[in-house]
Amino acid sequence: MKNTIYRVVVISLILITITLQNSNAQGKYIDRSGKIQFEASEALFEEVKASNESVTSVLDTKTGQIAALALIKGFHFKNSLMEEHFNENYIESGMYPKATFKGQFSDLDLALLDENTKKAAMEGTLKLHGKEKEVRTQISIQKVGDIISMTGEFVVTPGDFDIHIPKIVQNKIAKEVLVKFDFKLIKK
């Protein structure tokens, strides 16, 4: 008898686990070719700008959580020397190959999304170069069919991530870096 109860409990736990997993997957939207661009150009000097078009991001419409991941070496500059320098000396991608973001919509019912673009507040943690930084921003979000589109921007500084800009180039690189993103998430 004891054994039977035990089995029933185990089986039902397994079933609950599977059901939860399924229901979790249902509300998820994913994008594997999202775009992130950052720019730290100063007027009159050479453009300091790079973009990555293979960013992965995922949105859980049930919980309002979002996560994104970009490989640092996926950021491409116009000037290859600048790109090499960025990887070797600033962001040290050999040691820190990824940038990640974990965030949350604080005040948005994702079930109510439609073709009209809405503004929503998002906050989360950006991690790169081994350092973390809280980021808060307004993003534009809309849903067309099975696709959720999110775009937005925020500003960070190299200092936030312990990236030191040497004096010799200090006036060629803006103090603040504008980061823009554009994700098109498709229902999983």
Partner 1 sequence: MKKLNILFLLLPLFVLSQEDDLLKEIDDTTVSENYEIAAFKGLKIVNFESTKMVPQKQLYFVVSHRFGSIKTGIEDFFGLDQAVTRLNFIYGITDGINLGVSRSSFQRTYESSLKLRLLRQKKGGIPFTVVLFNTVLLNTALDEEQLPELKFENRLGYTTQVLISKKLNPNLSLQIAPTYFHDNLVAIDEQENSQYSIGIGGRHKLTKRWSINMDYGLHLNRASNSPFKNPFSIGFDLETGGHVFQLHFTNAQPMNTNTFLGQATGDWSDGDVFFGFNLSRVF
Residues forming contacts to partner 1 in the complex (CB under 8 A) are 2, 5-6, 9-10, 13, 16-17, 20-21, 24, 30, 46, 48, 56-58, 60, 65-69, 71, 73, 79-82, 84-85, 87-89, 94, 97-98, 100, 102, 164, 166, 168-169, 172-173
User: In whole angstroms, how far apart are CA 39 and each of 42, 51, 81, 96?
Assistant: 9, 9, 16, 20
CB 63 to partner 1: min, Å = 8
Nearest to partner 1 of 73, 118 (CB atom): 73
Q: At 3, give phi and psi (nearest 5°).
A: -60, -40
First and final C-alpha spacing in the chain? 43
Nearest to partner 1 of 80, 116 (CB atom): 80
CB 112 to partner 1: min, Å = 21
- What's at 46, amino acid-wise? E
Nearest to partner 1 of 21, 117 (CB atom): 21
Contact 42, 173 (CB under 8 A): yes
